[in-house]
Amino acid sequence: MNIEELYVKSFGKLSDVKIKLCDNFNVIYGQNESGKSTLIAFIRAMLYGLSEKKNKTPDRIAYMPWDGSEAGGDMVLTCAGKKLRIHRTFDRNNHRKDQCQISDMIKGVELNLDGEDITGLTLSAFDSTVFIRQLSVTRVADENKDLYNKLVNMAQTGQEDTDAGNALIYLEDRIKELSGRRKDVSINSVMERRNLLERELNELIKQHQLMMEDESRLLDLKERLRVLEDEIDQLDKIKPSLMMLDEWERDFSKLKLEIEKLDGEIKELEKTSLNGYREELKQKQKKLDELLSQKRSYVDDQILKRYAGYSVYLTLGIVLAAAGLLAAFLNPLFFTFLAIGAIVAFVGYKGRNRYYQLIQMKQQAEDQEALAKQLILDIDSIKVLINETETRLGQLRFAKDEKEQRLQELKKRIDDLMDSLSAYNMVIEWRYSNTSKGYDLDSIMELSSQKIKEKEMIISQIASIDERWKDGEIFKRIPELRQEIDLLDRLIEKMNFEYKAFKLAYDVMRNCLEEVNTDFTPRLINRAGEIIKSITGRYDRVGIDSENLKLSVIVPEYSVFKSPFDLSGGTADQIYLGFRIALADAAASDKNPPLILDDALVQYDDERLKNALRFLVEYSKKRQVILFTCHRREIDMLEDLCDGDINIIEL
């Protein structure tokens, strides 16, 4: 990579500055405050841009144009066979408004590249290798640090101030810290706190769910309470009507029973008494009629008296017959007396039989007459009973009709009262749904009492729920706990990521350091020895004690290793320069960016300066070199070394 042209449209104190560079050695000369540092900053800004942090770094503040115009410019360079133009503008306040356009000047197309793509180095690596600042070694000495620390740090990490050993210790400490149990700094301790908060959250959520269930139950209880109060109010309002209704219904039931009793009595009288009397009357009348049709003639007592004497004739005849029979044994003539006695006895016998027949007939006539009289009396009695029964039936029917009328009137009153209670469907439903249970006024009163008890129980339950959750403020902890847990989850995720990153970085750095010590460092030392010998003309061997972190060079006269700080300051400067150039070569990719020196040779004496310039001139044949200086002696020496064939730009 070679920079061909620079056009500073406006950057810091520089404005409308055009510079053309050659592919090998370039010297940019200017007095102090002429803009050399600004131009170097411009080169860095064109390649890598300015810091993205708004007004937080000196670059964006320091290098904004003094005249208030927009900062920007162009750079033309060659890279990998392409000719590129970089055009940038920089906003004074907002890095997001910075503009960058990188285009292929041959093809005329824009390219999606950045400074690292062009140089093959990050900005940090660029500053640590190919960009050698003024008084770098002096700063090292002033900070009382071993030169090796700076150089080996650049070799190992790409940063002068980043010690790989310290970095490994730091990474190891952080790994132990994260995997340990120290409060608030280890993953385990944060996880324990997170789990503790989660348990608290789960308990609160559980309690909150219970509260929500209680709230739902509370709504149901309040609704039930409202219904109960309405029902109790209905019961209170209808109790007088219910009492009256209950009394009427009792009267209604009583009347129905009385009517049923009357009806039964009527039916009983009609079926048994009246019909029986009529049947009996019919039978007796029939019997009377039969008696009357069989009525015998009256037997007079005179006739009986006439026949009553015939018994004497019978006796007399028997006596005469017996006497005649006895006398006949004495004198047959007395058989006449026997015949007379037999005739007299026969006549007496017939008369006496007739007498008895008449007596019997008289008795029968008297009996029939007595029976007829009795039948007449019975018939009269039955007629009286029939009349009485019919009268009783009439009375019963009248009483029944009267009671039925009263029953209808009472039923109408009950119906009217029920209609007036139609608004109280609950009670009506209660009454008719519980008729099988005998749901009367007492039951209604008992129900009212039950409702009141249920109301009191519900009020108690509502009060209990209200008391249980009166401290609802605790549930405000739920979003706080969730937020804390979320923060801790993110912290744990971050710490896990850091742990893995530190572990990976530690493993990679150890492997890299091993590779550096076994591969990169030997090559770096050999190259540094070559360059240092070319610059110093004396020291060609460099040694590194990787365990003690010491850099040393072999003093040829004594063949012993000495620290550069045991040598002169100028020699230390040369060793530092040689090592930096060796690092630039080692870090260089196929991009091979320019070597930029910012008054890096200011501390050299003439001899060392000449040796360094001679090396740089030769070195510029394979890498573009840009030397910024405020001294004419570098230019004079270079003109002698190059016979005047050198690109010098004066600011």
Calculate the dihedral angle through the C-alpha atoms of 53, 54, 55, 58, rounding to the nearest 10 degrees: 30
- 431-442 residues labelled b (16+ CB within 10 A) or e (exposed): beeeeeeebbbe
The DSSP annotation for 127-157 comes to: HHTTEE-TTHHHHHHHTT--HHHHHHHHHHH
Ranges 330-339, 523-532, 619-628: which has the least confidence: 330-339
pLDDT band at 176 (very low <50, low <70, confident <90, very high): confident
**360, 379, 359, 354: which is closest to 292 by C-alpha?**
379
pLDDT band at 459 (very low <50, low <70, confident <90, very high): confident
What pLDDT is recorded for position 158? 52
> Residues 304-326: what's their mean pLDDT?
62
What pLDDT is recorded for position 57? 54
What pLDDT is recorded for position 161? 54
Query: What's the Cα-to-Cα distance from 329 to each of 333, 340, 371, 408, rounded to whole Å?
Result: 9, 16, 57, 109
For residue 110, pLDDT over 70 is answered with yes
**473, 471, 578: which is closest to 532 by C-alpha?**
578
For residue 77, pLDDT over 90 is answered with yes
Better-predicted residue by pLDDT, 76 or 201: 76
Q: Which two tokens stand for residue 346?
A: 């026969």
What pLDDT is recorded for position 481? 83
Ranges 332-341, 452-461, 543-552, 593-602: which has the least confidence: 543-552
pLDDT band at 430 (very low <50, low <70, confident <90, very high): low
For residue 298, pLDDT over 50 is answered with no
pLDDT band at 15 (very low <50, low <70, confident <90, very high): very high
pLDDT band at 52 (very low <50, low <70, confident <90, very high): low
pLDDT band at 19 (very low <50, low <70, confident <90, very high): very high
What pLDDT is recorded for position 472? 58
Rg (CA), the chain: 76
Q: What is the mean pLDDT of the chain?
A: 77
Give yes or no for a contact between 159 and 124, defined as CB atoms under 8 angstroms apart: yes
What pLDDT is recorded for position 439? 43
pLDDT one-digit tens code per residue, 240-297: 777 777 777 778 788 788 888 878 887 777 777 767 777 777 887 888 777 777 655 4
What pLDDT is recorded for position 153? 57
What pLDDT is recorded for position 524? 77
> Residues 470-489: what's their mean pLDDT?
78
Looking at this protein, which amino acid is placed at residue 615?
F
pLDDT band at 178 (very low <50, low <70, confident <90, very high): confident
pLDDT one-digit tens code per residue, 203-246: 877 877 777 776 777 788 778 778 878 777 777 777 777 777 77
Q: How far apart are CA 493 and CA 485, in angstroms?
A: 12
> Residues 395-412: what's their mean pLDDT?
83
For residue 316, pLDDT over 70 is answered with no
Q: Which of 131-140, 187-196, 439-448, 472-481 has the highest mean pLDDT?
A: 187-196
Ranges 66-75, 227-236, 530-539, 561-570: which has the least confidence: 561-570
How open is the CA angle 66-68-70, to the nearest 5 degrees? 105
Q: How far apart are CA 192 and CA 195, in angstroms?
A: 5
For residue 547, pLDDT over 70 is answered with no
Q: How far apart are CA 154 and CA 419, in angstroms?
A: 107
For tokens 């439903």, the residue is 429
Query: Phi-psi category of 592—alpha, beta or left, where left has phi over 0 and alpha has psi -120 to 50?
Result: left
Name residue 647's beta-bridge partners.
26
Domains and CATH numbers, the chain: 1-130+599-651 (3.40.50.300)
Ranges 82-86, 189-193, 335-339, 577-581: which has the least confidence: 335-339
What pLDDT is recorded for position 378? 78
Give yes or no for a contact between 334 and 311, defined as CB atoms under 8 angstroms apart: no
Query: What's the Cα-to-Cα distance from 37 to each of 4, 11, 65, rounded to whole Å?
Result: 19, 11, 14
For residue 642, pLDDT over 90 is answered with no
pLDDT one-digit tens code per residue, 484-541: 889 888 888 888 888 888 888 888 888 877 776 777 777 777 887 888 888 877 776 6
Give yes or no for a contact between 447 and 166, defined as CB atoms under 8 angstroms apart: no
Looking at the chain, the whole-number percentage of residues with pLDDT higher than 90 is 16
What pLDDT is recorded for position 139? 45
Q: Which two tokens stand for residue 630?
A: 């405020």
3-class DSSP state for residue 327? helix
**203, 204, 197: which is closest to 487 by C-alpha?**
197
What pLDDT is recorded for position 373? 79
Ranges 89-103, 136-150, 466-480: which has the least confidence: 136-150
Q: How far apart are CA 234 and CA 448, in angstroms?
A: 10
> Residues 578-593: what's their mean pLDDT?
80
Give Cβ neighbours of residue 302 (< 8 Å, ≥ 6 apart). none
For residue 424, pLDDT over 60 is answered with no
pLDDT one-digit tens code per residue, 347-391: 666 766 766 676 776 777 777 777 777 778 878 887 888 788 778
* pTM passes above 0.85: no
Q: Which two tokens stand for residue 560?
A: 């012993």
For tokens 């091993």, the residue is 514
What pLDDT is recorded for position 123? 86
pLDDT band at 303 (very low <50, low <70, confident <90, very high): low
What pLDDT is recorded for position 300? 55
Query: What's the Cα-to-Cα distance from 40 to each of 14, 28, 62, 631, rounded to whole Å?
Result: 11, 10, 13, 17
